[in-house]
Structure 1
Amino acid sequence: MAEFIIGEHDFLLDGRPHRVLAGALHYFRVHPDLWADRIEKARLMGLNTIETYTPWNLHEPVEGAYDFTGMLDLERFLRLVADAGMHAIVRPGPYICAEWDNGGLPAWLYRDPEVGVRRSEPRYLGAVSAYLRRVYDVVTPLQIDRGGPVVLVQIENEYGAYGSDKFYLRHLVDLTRECGITVPLTTVDQPTDEMLSQGSLDCLHRTGSFGSRATERLATLRRHQPTGPLMCSEFWNGWFDHWGDRHHTTSAEDSAAELDALLAAGASVNIYMFHGGTNFGLTSGANDKGVYQPTITSYDYDAPLDEAGNPTAKYHAFREVIARYAPVPGEAPPPAKPAPEFSVELDAGAYALKAPESWGTWERHEALPELDELESMPRMALYRTTVDSDVPATLVLGEVRDRVSVFLDGQPVGTLLRQNHERALGLDKASGELVLLVEDMGRVNYGPRLGEAKGVIGGATLNGKPLTGWDVLPIELGTPPDAAPTPDGGAGPVLRRARFDLDGPADLFLDTLDWGKGIAWVNGFCLGRYWSLGPQRTLYVPAPVLRAGANELAVLETATAATTVAHFRSGPELGHTEA
């Protein structure tokens, strides 16, 4: 057992001053069989602590149904941290931002229009309390004073940028203590007077989030946190990417200099991110400050460990800086080896418009429903109705969230994109079966648009007349749709498969450069989205999802691919870095 407390000037570990040297590593963005490897590489860089968020929307995907297994096994993750001789910081939110779908808040929470998110509203407090109790069931026994690794727990997340409800923060503190959390509690906000004042309570230890100008920002933090250790609990050493934008990188030399300045000032630090990992599945979020910008699948973040867990120039630069202030192990991780390169032909495919019944079950709706109004709240669905106009017509959708492809009698008419503020199409022919493929590209994770509904919002009209009588087919995407082949081909979304053999498991990089837009799986594991908009050009395939012998690739193409050949490359390609 050990004691970890906040002293007059420092964190105190068993009564001795202790500097927290932490790195962010999100267990839910890394295959669990790779957790120990990533944790060990953090130790070898000189870190003594691993920090992680917990994603409410994954741990409670359906209200009252919890999941702490597989990639969500928080207990296993924290025990691996302890096995490495390291400490842990847990940030359970309930809001985490993290460029994560809906900032980690579950979509079902918003089905009640009266719910008051991130404030002291009874329905929300009831839901968040139930969730946090389950998280603390895991965390409480693993605190440092009970022989575990957890030394700090965060309350909310950058709350000063969102609200100022002190009763809400007090509720979270009281619940956390009631659940047996005895380690120090922290908050984090950007170092502005307003945010630091609004986002915390005096009973909590304030920390800052920034990536530069350490002296200035620590001074601001000190005004609001007059005693105890200074800590940058999100030292931004890289950045994330949006579809259609460039790949963001930061100079290893410049980032190391900023880290040096922070440590020279005596502060503790959490490097965000030490290892970003991947937004596997359909978990990436989005930003919307007037223009909707969905986040890419890779969360490489230009971090010290790249997306595949290999050390970068930034890793070695940070290691050298840390060695000036703390002991660093003598050994370092080896450099990356090239991944296997090969190509495989995809099959003729299963076309959704040819045999939709093999993709799911139709539901009847009189009015065009939003995706969130469907029972399963799917990320993708087909909508069909019949139109009958003897003159050319204009199809108008209320609002597109986030992508709608339009087909008439099985032929593509056009695609409407939210980021282009598109919602209307002209139809030369306006008679026949009208089909919409509606896609959710990721929920906004920051700002006032948290929790917004997905799909077509506000219905559809043809030449000003409402379209009614819709059949809706939700498409489940956790695993590849079990769709029957349609060798005669056609238009619309198509699922293609290929088999390939390996001598044994190895990291792979699937090249998507010549494909349009879609989702890929390997052996049923969802790698995430790809899109020709870039910048990302490869999808990371972690070795543990592969096996010696036969493996299966499945690709759901929702636009148009230039080739039906799948290429695997020797390394990642995350796109151009110039604006």
Structure 2
Amino acid sequence: MSLLTWNQGQYLLDGQPYRIISGSIHYYRVVPEYWKDRLLKLKASGFNTVETYIAWNVHEPSEGAFNFTGMADVESFIRLAGELGLHVIVRPSPFICAEWEFGGLPAWLLSYSDLQLRCMDPLYLSKVDRYYDQLIPRLVPYLSSKGGPIIAVQIENEYGSYGNDTAYLDYLRKGLIDRGIDVLLFTSDGPTDEMLLGGTLPDVHATVNFGSRVKESFQKYREYRKDEPLMVMEYWNGWFDHWMEDHHVRDGADVAKVLDEMLAQGSSINMYMFHGGTNFGFYNGANHIVTYEPTTTSYDYDAPLTEWGDSTEKLEAVRKVLAKHGFAPGCPFPEPIPKAAYGKVQLTEKAELFTDAALQQLSGPIHSVNVRPMEKFGQSYGFILYSTFVKGPRQGQKLYIQDVRDRAQVFLNGRLLGVIERWNPQPLEISVPAEGVKLDILVENMGRVNYGPLIRDPKGITEGVRIDNQFQFDWTVRPLPLQPETLAGLKYDALDAAAADGENGEERPAFYRGSFEVQEPGDTFLRFDGWYKGIAWVNGFNLGRYWSAGPQRTLYVPGPLLQQGRNEIVLFELHSGPVNCEIELTDTPDLGTVAQVDDAVLNFANDEEE
């Protein structure tokens, strides 16, 4: 048995002074075949601990249906870390932020109109309890008190940035203890009065999160916790990216300098992130500070270990600082994983979305008097199609979507009228002939807000559709979650390359399919040059979103997703593909034009965090 405790300002492990040198790796952002590689690289860099959030929406994607397999096999990840000689910090808070969809909360919570998030709301707590009844017993065997690697467990995540319901925090604490958690419990918050007042409990160890200004941050912490060990639970060594912005980077020498200062103060640390990984599928989150900002598919984070698992100059700088403070590599550094360039691949088949065959395969129609958010139709992710008939004649009126979450393509009789976006919700001018038209509105969920007061973020159309002041009723709704099992049944037609832009040059959403041969599977990167916006799948695995708006110019394809021989690639292109309908699989990643992270962002100055 081994227990992490603290006394007189320092951690004790088995009664002996101990420093936690941890790095963040999220199991659900890395294919399981690469867990060992990433963990060994952590240990080889001088770290003794790995930290991971646990994402509720990964484990209960639909209400009452739990998943702990594949990329959701958190038990195997923890067990592997222990076998490799690493301690583990787990953060199973119902809410995790992490630039993850809805901050890890499952979208089906939003189907309950009266449910209140992250507080002592009985309905919300009943859902948390049911989840914890499934999750926590899986963690208990891996506690250090039982001989396992887990040395500490978080109660809630940066709660002081959201609320001040300390009864809620205490409820979660008691729930963990009652279910068998008997290792060190802690909270983590930004080093401000508001956050430390709202997010902590007096008898629970408090840690802090920040990226610079070490002296100032620790001084604020010491105003509240005079005798506890210093622990930076999230040392932000990089930053995440939003679509339509630049790729954020932080200078490695600056990261090393701040780390040196933290360690010189006697602090333990957790580097957020050591390895960022990828927001595969529809799991990217979003921010909403001034406007809505969706996060990219890549979660490289400019971390010391890249999205594809390579070492960086930043990592070398970090290793030198750790060695200076007595934290030597725990094993040899694994060799880089080979990268492969499979060349250009032509997508030779096409299935247009707006055909009876495709729509029948992908979704059943639902009649609804009003437009409603996708959660009210039992849908969490993907797209949703609203269709109705508009009577005419009408001339020079305005079509409003009230409110769109997050990006809507509007079609009249199958022709694109225009796009209405959450961050630019300008109405479209509409004219309707006397015989009327069919109105189709395809709405893309680009990721729910994962931080701040606006996390309650239903998707689709949340209020209504109106022409001038007249609301439109009588809709046919088709949820389009685009699950692999429904996509597999799509019927494709051979594609004439000259018709790639659609008949008569019209932009219509369509699925494009092609294949390529692989002799030796390896990591590769999908370049989407010439394509506008959509989703990519390889062998049925959802790689995530692509968008010419950038910054990201390639999608990471881990080698384990490929197979020897024939491999299939599918793009769901929302507008139109290039004339040659080609993609390229290259051995070179491209995350876009870079911009340095602003120091203010690293210290909650903009009320925004990791």
Residue 553 (structure 1) shift: 0.5
1:282 aligns with 2:287: no
Residue type matched to 1:66 in 2? F
Q: 1:178 — aligned with what?
A: 178
Whether the aligned pair in 1 keeps the contact of 2:391 and 2:432 (CA below 8 Å) is: no
Can you list the C-alpha shifts for 1:447-498, whole angstroms capped at 9, x where unaligned? 1111221111211122432222211122122327232225585542100111
Contact 2:514/2:568, CA 8 A, preserved across alignment:
yes
2:601 is matched with none
Are the aligned partners of 2:539 and 2:567 in contact in 1 as well (CA < 8 Å)? Answer: yes
Query: 1:230, 1:75 → 2: CA distance?
Result: 29
Query: Within 1, Cα distance between the matches of 2:595 and 2:30?
Result: 28
Residue aligned with 2:215, SS: helix
Residue 3 of structure 1: how far off its partner (Å): 2.6
> 1:332 corresponds to which residue?
333
Name 1:350's counterpart in structure 2.
351
Alignment check: 8 A CA contact 1:371 1:379 kept: no
- Per-residue CA deviation, residues 328-373 of structure 1 (Å, 9 max, x unaligned), is 2273344565432401100241001133323322222222222122
Identify which of 434, 438, 441 aligns with 2:446. Answer: 441
Q: CA deviation at 1:123?
A: 1.1
RMSD: 1.6
Q: Is the 8 A contact 2:279 2:299 kept in 1?
A: yes
Give the distance between the partners of 1:110 and 1:566, measured in 2 at CA: 37
Q: TM-score, normalised by structure 2?
A: 0.92
How big is the shift at 1:327?
Answer: 3.4
Matches within 5 A, 1:48-63: 48-63=48-63
SS at structure 2 position matched to 1:155? strand
Q: Which stretch of structure 1 is more off in the superposition, 8-17 or 146-155?
A: 8-17
2:529 matched residue in structure 1 = 513
Q: Deviations over 1:30-49 (max 9, x none)?
A: 00111011000000010000
Mapped partners of 1:405, 1:295: distance in 2: 20
Question: Which amino acid in 1 is paired with 2:408?
Answer: V
**Aligned equivalent of 2:480:** 475
> Which of these residues, 449, 452, 455, is aligned with residue 460 of structure 2?
455
The separation in 2 between residues aligned to 1:9 and 1:398, in whole angstroms, is 54
- Report the TM-score when normalising by structure 1: 0.97
Query: Structure 2: which amino acid aligns with 1:370?
Result: P
What is the aligned partner in structure 2 of residue 537 from structure 1? 553
For residues 532 and 137 of structure 2, the distance between their equivalents in structure 1, rounded to whole angstroms, comes to: 44
1:420 paired with 2:414, answer: no
Alpha carbons 2:211, 2:236 under 8 Å: kept? yes
Query: Which residue of the partner structure matches residue 602 of structure 2?
Result: none
1:169 corresponds in structure 2 to 169
Contact kept in structure 1, 2:249 and 2:595, CA below 8 Å: no
8 Å CA contact 1:508, 1:542 repeated in 2: yes
Q: Which residue of 1 aligns with 2:209?
A: 209
2:91, 2:180 → 1: CA distance?
16
Separation in structure 2 between the aligned mates of residue 506 and residue 574 of structure 1, nearest angstrom = 19
Alpha-carbon spacing, 1:578–1:10, altered in 2? closer, same or farther (3 Å): closer
1:556 to 572, 583, 588: 572
> Which position in structure 2 is the counterpart of 1:396?
400
For residues 102-154 of structure 1, what are the alpha-carbon distances to aligned partners after superposition, in whole Å with 9 as ceiling and x for unaligned? Answer: 11111211222222211111111111122123221111110112110000101
Counterpart of 2:160 in structure 1 is: 160
Quote the Cα distance in structure 2 between the aligned partners of 1:311 and 1:125: 42
Deviations 1:80-114 (A, max 9, x none): 10011010000011110000111111121122222
Match of 2:3 in 1: 3
Q: 1:181 offset after TM fit, Å?
A: 0.8
Q: Distance in 1 between matches of 2:22 and 2:218?
A: 17
2:98 alignment partner in structure 1: 98
Q: In 1, distance between residues paired with 2:332 and 2:361?
A: 54
Q: Could you tell me whether the CA contact under 8 Å between 1:281 and 1:478 is conserved in 2?
A: no
Q: Once the two structures are superposed, what CA deviation does each residue of 1:201-241 show, in whole Å capped at 9, x if it has no partner?
A: 11111111001011221122122121131000000000000
Q: Is the 8 A contact 1:4 1:145 kept in 2?
A: no
Corresponding letter in the other structure for 2:347: L
Aligned length: 578
Q: Could you list the per-position Cα deviations for residues 410-454 of structure 1 after superposition, in whole angstroms to 9, with x for gaps in the alignment?
A: 1111111111133x1112445321111111110001111112211
Which residue matches 2:582?
565
Q: Aligned equivalents of 1:359 and 1:189: distance in 2?
A: 43
What amino acid is aligned across from residue 212 of structure 2 in structure 1? S
Q: Distance in 2 between matches of 1:266 and 1:273?
A: 21
Question: Counterpart amino acid of 2:45?
Answer: M
Is 2:236–2:271's contact at 8 Å kept on the other side of the alignment? yes
In structure 1, how many angstroms separate the alpha carbons of the residues matched to 2:383 and 2:398? 24
> Could you tell me which residue of structure 2 aligns to residue 371 of structure 1?
374
Q: Which residue of 2 aligns with 1:18?
A: 18
Q: Show the counterpart of 1:27.
A: 27
> Among the aligned pairs, what percent are the same residue?
43
Q: Does 1:229 align with 2:223?
A: no
Structure 1 CA distance for aligned equivalents of residues 231 and 104 of structure 2:
24
Aligned partner (choices 362, 368, 377) of residue 365 of structure 2: 362
1:387 has 2:390 as partner: yes
Q: What residue identity is the alignment partner of 1:421?
A: P
Name the counterpart of 2:499: none
Indicate the residue corresponding to 1:432 in structure 2: 437
One-letter identity of the residue aligned with 2:175: L
2: CA distance, partners of 1:328 / 1:376 = 49
**8 Å Cα contact 2:143/2:149 also seen in 1:** yes
Stretch deviating more after TM superposition (360-369 or 477-486): 477-486
Q: Secondary structure at the match of 2:125?
A: helix
- Give the corresponding residue for 1:528: 544
